[in-house]
Amino acid sequence: MTKLPIGFRCSSDRFKKSKQAEERVEEIDEKIRQVINNLRRSELGSKEHKDLTNTLNQLEKAHREKTNEIAQLAEDKPQFFYAEGDFKKNNKKNKRKSIQKIFAEEQQKAKLREWNSIQADARRRRETALDNKKRSQLEKQKIIDNRKFVGELRQESETLRQFSGMDISGDTMKRDGVDVFISHASEDKGSIVRDLADSLISEGVSVWYDEYSLSIGDSLSSSINKGLSECTFGIVVLSPDFVKKKWPEIELQSLYAKEVHKGKSILPIWHRITFDEVIEFNLHMADKFALNTSTHSVEMITKLIIKELDKKLIES
């Protein structure tokens, strides 16, 4: 099918100008991208930010001029009719992106990168939390296994000692009854008391702690009185919740009576409480040297309590 040129002008000149304008537009586009990237990194209100803004405005103006020039040259292109009379207009639309569209796409890409970063961070946090949960479960299981092993070892040692008339516990000192009684407010279980009880038990210390020492149907008062009377030391966890409650204060009075007859029996631990609050609660407790959870870890408190138990055994 033959094409016939209609309104043909000299195309070599037009083609050369159009090519130069398109190359110039590509250069302007590249400079615009660079300026936009630098503009993001610059500080808002600074001289650099203002200079980059002025440069971006000038590039936008140059981009518009070259785009209009390309559109004008496109209108001067020769038009063709087919010989059979079918008309086909060869007038392609300018598909070049505007400055606003380029800037909008860059913003969308930046938001997408930020979103992906947030998602990746959240995924890492979930995986870390899952690992910590598994590790915590393994540590708790280890404590329970240690507690069972210590109990079995004591039963076996006690049985063999009865048959042989000797103490074969592996140590020249043997603790009888309850080593420590933990007097505390129930609000402090999760923050310090339960961890302290588990730490002491895992080190072989016999602990009276209500969550482990009481069974369903037990008499609360009888069990507590028995634990107070048999214990070597009473660990008193002084806290703002402790000083407000009546029941812990009753346990503390029982330990006072024991200390009068048998000597040192109270090991105080301050937990989230100030010296002024302790003085207001009880002068005698304020006079005692106490461990403090703000400066002593659970492991350190456990070692110091075991040290006191060993000193007591040596004295007796």
Gap between the Cα atoms of 180 and 160, Å rounded? 25
Question: What's the confidence (pLDDT) of residue 82?
Answer: 44
Residue pair 259/207 in contact by the 8 Å Cβ criterion: no
Residues of the chain with pLDDT under 70: 1-12, 75-97, 99, 136, 140, 143-177, 316
The pLDDT assigned to 3 comes to 47
Catalytic residue annotation? 251
Residue from 24, 34, 20, 19 nearest 102 by CA: 34
pLDDT reported for residue 146: 66
d(CA 288, CA 236) in angstroms, rounded, equals 11
**What's the pLDDT at 155?**
58
Q: Which of 77, 59, 60, 70 is nearest to 23 (CA)?
A: 70
pLDDT of residue 140: 66
What pLDDT is attached to residue 300? 94
Closest CA to 143 of 211, 92, 196: 196
Is domain 177-315 in CATH 3.40.50.10140, yes or no?
A: yes
Sheet with 87-88: strands ordered across: 3-6, 79-82, 87-88
The domain locations on the chain are 9-85, 177-315
Q: What is the C-alpha to C-alpha distance for residues 316 and 313, in angstroms, rounded to an integer?
A: 5
Q: What pLDDT sits at residue 153?
A: 62
